[in-house]
Structure 1
Amino acid sequence: MTSPTPCYHCALPVPSGSRFTAVVLGESREFCCPGCQAVAEAIVAGGLESYYQHRSEASANPEALPVQLTDELALYDRADVQQPFVRHEGDLAETTLLMEGISCAACGWLIEKHLRTLPAVAEARLNLSNHRLHVRWADAQLPLSQILAELRHIGYAAHPYQADRASEQLASENRLALRQLGVAGLLWFQAMMATMATWPEFNIDLSPELHTILRWVALFLTTPIVFYSCAPFFKGAMRDLRTRHLTMDVSVSLAIGSAYIAGIWTSITGVGELYFDAVGMFALFLLAGRYLERRARERTAAATAQLVNLLPASCLRLDSDGQSERILLSELRVGERILVQPGSILPADGKIIDGQSSIDESLLTGEYLPQPRTLGDAVTAGTLNVEGALTVQVQALGQDTRLSAIVRLLDRAQAEKPRLAEIADRAAQWFLLLSLIAAALIGLLWWQLDSARAFWIVLAMLVATCP
């Protein structure tokens, strides 16, 4: 019995009697379904049919991957390397891979279809929103390195994904801050229009009934801003009052809370001014400022973290006979010799004991031109070997390298405040204290002069002095 013809696009068996064909690379090819036929025709029409040629060459020669890449992938078959990101359930192993090169839904379809054709793969699901590939397979039949190699053959690089709790929490806080900012911005415009319509300057032929409706509409629109968007201000103010420490949150909370309460009173009685537009304005601009500041700090922190990620995960260690062996960077020790191939990142600080090359040290100096280095010269972890192969004797690893020292200095610079910032913080506390004292004194004065206007005068002062 002859085996069924594989689909030229997805390699699944072509059902008997199928008549889906297209001309690819000058020959008529068979497909399993009209979807594969349509995708193939679109690829050919777009002038991209060389994709099939490269794919065919890689499938016909599984060893076509570079030797260095094959050695790196083989490290993922070790149990100690898999322990952080591979889970075992019976005979099946389960992991999540972070994919590179995903551009559209067709990429996800191709990856899933290709992996599912492997006999040992029980499940392959790609989440297009975060580019994470969930795979379950029989690792006794198929090593993880072979799965990674198969993905490389079809043009996609995969890396083990390990959830970073700090990063996930930071992303969650960013989403919450962005939602609070969005709610404040959207509802403020509506509340402002409703509030402005009640002003005498715009109140043209406005009936008392409609005036009342607009006040309640403004109250309804402002309430989510106060209790959802402004929640961080009130939480911060409560924390600062418990610690007897004045910050901007105290002043902002007083202004927003007082304006909201005054708006409720005006909505019910029709007496006084509506400050709902001021509430929304404070919330929008303050939240926008905090969000932009947060993202700026995160970009700086991310740039610092990327310095550490420059170090490779593995390196080539030389034994006493000069034979190289690929090992994890954590297994490298001071005093050992390593071979650094052209185009590779130096994994440690050391001294060149054989060879000469040019080193891209833009990470350290900002100079984009590679610098010549020869026998006896010092080299630094994280820099790029550009030209020739180098034999380097390791002198510093991990936290002892110059790269780690740079990261520590950056962390220290971000954590410490300059003298001017400390002076500004103290001045802000005195400004807030004097503003609150002045508002209280003027409120008492106006209570003696005209008690009906005292609250509105104090509220106007809080709004005007709110930073």
Structure 2
Amino acid sequence: MNTYEAWAHPQLAAQVLRKRRDGHSEVALRVDALQGARQILRLEQVIHALPGVRRVSVDAPSKRVRVVWDRERTSLPALLQTFASMRCAAQPLRSDSIDDSRSREAHDMLKRLLVAGMCAMQVMTYAFVIYIGVVDFVDFTTRGLFRWLSLISTAPVVFYSAHPFVRGAWQELRERRLGINLPVALAVWLVFLASTLNTVRGSGDIYFDSVSMFVFLLLAGRYVELKARHRSGALGDAVIDSTPLLAERRRDDGSLETIPAIELLPGDRVHISEGAAVPADGLLESDTVQVDESLLSGESRPVCRQRGERLVAGSVLIDGPAELRVEHSGDETAAARVGALSTRTRVARNAASVVNDSELGRFVARVLLLTLATAVGWLIFEPSRAFESAVAVLVIACPCAFALTAPSALTRALGVLAQRGVLVADSSALARMANVDVAMFDKTGTLTEPHIDLAEVRTIGPSDKTAWLPLAAALARESSHPIARAVARATGPVAHQDMQDVRVSQGQGVAGQIGGHMLRLGHAAFAGTGNDASHAGEGDLWLADASGPLAAFRVSETLRADASQALQSMREEGMVTIMASGDTALRAATIASELGITEWHARCSPEDKLALLQHRRSQGHVTLAVGDGSNDAPVLAGADVSAALASGTELAQAHADFLLLHGRLHGLVDARHIACQVRDVIAQGRRWSLGYNLCAVPFAAFGLVPPWLAAIGMSVSSIVVVLNAWRIGRDDQVKPAMPL
């Protein structure tokens, strides 16, 4: 049974198909080969030509295709075969990934925008006739007719297109805060009601063209911002979709069976064909393979992996086949954790967007007071112009540009960083990142990568290395510490060991009982080697039992490929780099010297690292903590800004504001640059908004700006702010802010 035929199985199809109310089926597909508008158009035409296909929707940024069709006329395997024939192999996604919320939001906003646009054009046509009547005679019956037609055409704009602003205004009032929606809703309804009253009584000015244009232009700005926000979330979808749903598991007799990847268990052996995606995290049991890990690492070049090294779910096998021993599957894979983090980031960002901005609230309050003052002033001197001037002030001073500055900049920044392999779990951390002046790094696993050569292992006493090596490997696999992972990689695949009473001491070692025999793997003090520590160098890893040491692992370390360059770049920007390690003074000094770090601390417990960080914070410094292990979680949580590597533990990732997907420390430099650009763009946008209002509001207050011109000015101001935010990430280096 080939891969496509497997999807005919009811249990497998049930994972990916969603039954619609109209009786049709819907499936979401991951299509990695989507490239270019011409290919997408051709693919849509071919799929639409299949019997029973009702709708094809392509989301190019996230490389997703959704198909609605009649399964009685075209089977799911036949649909997948058609994609393959177009050289666009499709991978079905779980049915719970068919998230309509984003598409519904975009479609709803687009419909309201189109209604407002069509009605605004129609109202402007009617207004043209009325404006002609100012300079040339048009009989009163004709003018009255066109006033009523303008009212009818504006009603859908006010009651439908502008409804999100009204809903938002009520929400702001219930929460007792001043936001952007309140002045918008007031302007729309005041202008509409006053114009309606004048239309009914047949005298007075009407501003239907102004209100319809105002709503249309404001919706256009929001739609642009919405599409940018959706595009920035495409990376999270791509990571979530990368793991295949099917896997070829090897039975005990050596034959292969196709099963859902979610059913894989630790210890299962999986066969991966050339060009296929890795279905689970695990250890490679083949000699050497090349894999494409660009989705998680950001590195486009193939990576060579050897026997015993870890493969991550979602990476693609370039040459094969290969055999994999499963460690984690389903929601426990690295790709699933990154996808969950990306989803959490979007939720946090959406929640943050409705949090009260005190500065925005003060701005809105000033606009409302200024509008009231304008109305009162004109009521005293010339009551007939009070309403028009007050509306012009309310519209032209509407804080849309002010409110759009931060969301537009953050949306652009999060998308740029995601493309560069940096996920931002807390968008507010970007503001703090721009002010960081002290960065504290863990050593092992963060600045360095440990390596163990079995040829250099020294045995103690008469014991044979082949006897205790599987025991050391079993203990090492119980810990997520980088050195423990190095032991597991060095020993390679070993037989399963029945372990009991396992206890992991952060930064010290792991202990456990195997076959009634109590063993310890860790530093000399933890293993309890006593005077026998002289058999090996300081800081080596020891395996010992109750009777004494069994062996010593010589741990060597290599710097991460970009560690030196990244730290040098940070120092050039005025940041102080500190290394705090739990390792020995000799090793810490050696690494610090190689990296140019002048301040380093050795033999640090998690409490020691946190105390060092808090001391720096008490001196007024803004701190950044970078780590990858569970023992780094306290210092990550205590720092102003924190970052963790994707290869680190889940606990470290949970406390990190930034996640470095590719394991490259240069992602911190990118985050710093982008954070500075966000700071500059927000400052520019708010300066522009304030300057624009200082120049425009006096003209509106003195009755020199009609409401329709005020609407155009407000909209242009908002669009300028949104477009300025797209400058973020255009250059690798932060450049001086351009005046607006």
Return the TM-score normalized by structure 2: 0.45
How far does residue 129 in structure 1 lie from its aligned partner after superposition?
Answer: 5.8
Write the mapping of 1:302-341 to structure 2, written as runs, cut at 5 A. 302-341=234-273
Matched-pair contact (CA < 8 Å) for 2:109–2:223: yes
- Change in CA separation of 1:95 and 1:184 when aligned onto 2, cut-off 3 Å: closer
Map Cα deviations across residues 95-138 of structure 1 (whole Å, 9 max, x no partner).
73659986558974xx54xxxxxxxxxxxx3325675332349x
Q: Work out whether residues 44 and 56 of structure 2, in 8 Å CA contact, stay in contact via their aligned partners in 1.
A: no
Rounded Cα–Cα distance in structure 2 between residues aligned with 1:343 and 1:196: 64
Which of 288, 294, 300 in structure 1 is aligned with 2:226? 294
Say which of 403, 407, 415 aligns to 2:335: 403
Match of 1:181 in 2: 113
Cα distance per residue 1:326-385 (max 9 Å; x no partner): 221111011222121211101112221223111111112322221211112222111111
- TM-score normalised to structure 1 length: 0.68
Q: Tell me what 2:522 maps to.
A: none
What residue in structure 2 maps to residue 453 of structure 1?
385
> Does 1:267 find its partner at 2:199?
yes
Residues 192 and 87 of structure 1, relative CA distance in 2, 3 Å threshold: closer
SS at match of 1:198: helix
Letter in 2 for 1:148: P
Residue pair 1:97, 1:158 contacting (<8 A) in 2 also:
no
Counterpart CA distance in 1 for 2:258 and 2:138 is 82
Once the two structures are superposed, what CA deviation does each residue of 1:406-457 show, in whole Å capped at 9, x if it has no partner? Answer: 2233234434459x98999332211111211232234334434444433333
Counterpart-to-counterpart distance in 2, 1:106 and 1:374: 41
Counterpart Cα distance in 1 of 2:217 and 2:379: 32
Contact kept, 8 Å, 2:290 with 2:305, in 1: the verdict is yes
Structure 2 residue 208 is the aligned partner of structure 1 residue 276: yes
Alignment of 1:394-433 (within 5 A): 394-417=326-349, 425-433=357-365
Confirm whether residue 257 of structure 1 aligns to residue 186 of structure 2. no
| More off after superposition, 431-440 vs 156-165 | 156-165
In structure 2, relative to structure 1, the CA distance for the partners of 1:335 and 1:285 (3 Å cut) is same
Aligned with 1:148 (options 74, 77, 85):
77
Aligned to 2:325: 393
**1:133 aligned to which of 66, 69, 74:** 69
Within 5 Å, which residues of 2 pair with 1:8-407? 70-76=1-7, 78-83=9-14, 96=25, 104=45, 108=49, 112=51, 125-127=52-54, 131-136=67-72, 148=77, 152=81, 167-199=99-131, 203-407=135-339
> CA–CA distance in 1 between the matches of 2:161 and 2:208?
14
The equivalent residue for 1:67 is none
Q: Residues 166, 203 of structure 1: CA spacing in aligned structure 2 closer, same or farther, 3 A cutoff? A: farther
SS for the counterpart of 1:393 is strand
Partner of 1:50: none
In structure 2, what is the equivalent of residue 120 of structure 1? none
Residue 439 (1) aligns with residue 367 (2): no
Change (3 A) 1:447 1:298: same
Gaps of 5+ in 2: 30-41, 58-66, 401-740
1:97/1:161 contact within 8 Å kept = no
Match of 1:23 in 2: none
Cα distance between partner residues in 2 of 1:354 and 1:106: 39
Question: How far is 1:301 from its partner?
Answer: 2.9
Give me the whole-angstrom Cα distance separating, in 1, the residues matched to 2:368 and 2:127.
27
Letter in 1 for 2:120: W
Q: Residue 462 in 1 paired to residue 401 in 2? A: no
Bigger relative contact order (CA 8 A; separation at least 6): 2
Could you say if the C-alpha distance between residues 218 and 254 of structure 1 is closer, same or farther in structure 2, counting changes exceeding 3 Å?
Answer: same
Please, which moves more after superposition, 204-213 or 366-375? 204-213
Preserved contact between residue 197 and residue 203 of structure 1 (Cα < 8 Å)? no
Q: How far, CA to CA, are the matches of 2:204 and 2:240 in structure 1? A: 59
Kindly provide the amino acid, as one letter, of the partner of residue 296 in structure 2: L
| 8 A Cα contact 1:346 1:380, kept in partner | yes
CA contact (8 A) 1:85 1:161 kept: yes
Secondary structure of the corresponding residue to residue 135 of structure 1: coil
Q: 1 CA distance for matches of 2:27 and 2:330?
A: 25
AA of the residue aligned to 1:363: L
Residue pair 1:346, 1:381 contacting (<8 A) in 2 also: yes
- Partner of 2:307, secondary structure, is coil
User: How far apart are 1:177 and its partner, in Å?
Assistant: 2.3
Q: Relative to 1, partners in 2 of residues 1:203 and 1:194: Cα closer, same or farther, differing over 3 Å?
A: farther
Paired AA for residue 230 in structure 1: A
Aligned-pair CA distance for 1:393: 1.6
- Aligned AA for 1:184? A
Secondary structure, counterpart of 2:190 in structure 1: helix
Point out the more displaced range, 225-234 or 292-301. Answer: 292-301
Structure-2 separation of matches of 1:76 and 1:421: 41
User: Residues 95 and 136 of structure 1 are in contact (CA less than 8 Å); yes or no, is this contact kept in structure 2?
Assistant: no
1:269 is displaced (CA, Å) by 4.1
Contact 2:261 2:330 (8 Å CA) reproduced: no
Gaps of 5+ in 1: 1-69, 89-93, 113-124, 138-143
The 1:170/1:164 distance shift into structure 2, 3 A limit, reads farther
Moved more, 308-317 or 269-278: 269-278
Partner of 2:505: none
Question: How much has 1:231 moved relative to structure 2?
Answer: 1.6
Maintained 8 Å contact 1:338/1:394: yes
Which amino acid letter does the alignment assign opposite residue 133 of structure 1?
W
**Measured at CA, do residues 423 and 329 of structure 1 come closer, stay the same or move farther in structure 2, by a change above 3 Å?**
closer
Structure 1 stretch displaced more, 402-411 or 70-79: 70-79
Q: Is residue 338–residue 393 contact of structure 1 (8 Å, CA) maintained in 2?
A: yes
Shift of 1:213: 2.9
Give 1:35's aligned residue: none
8 Å CA contact 2:130–2:143 kept in 1: the answer is yes
Letter in 2 for 1:72: T
Contact 1:337 1:394 in 2 (8 A): yes
8 Å contact kept, 2:177–2:356 = no
CA contact (8 A) 2:15 2:95 kept: no
The two structures, once aligned, show a CA RMSD in angstroms of 3.8
Alpha-carbon distance in 2 for matches of 1:281, 1:421:
26
CA distance in 2, matches of 1:171, 1:421: 19
What is the CA–CA distance in structure 2 between the aligned matches of 1:171 and 1:236, rounded to whole Å? Answer: 20
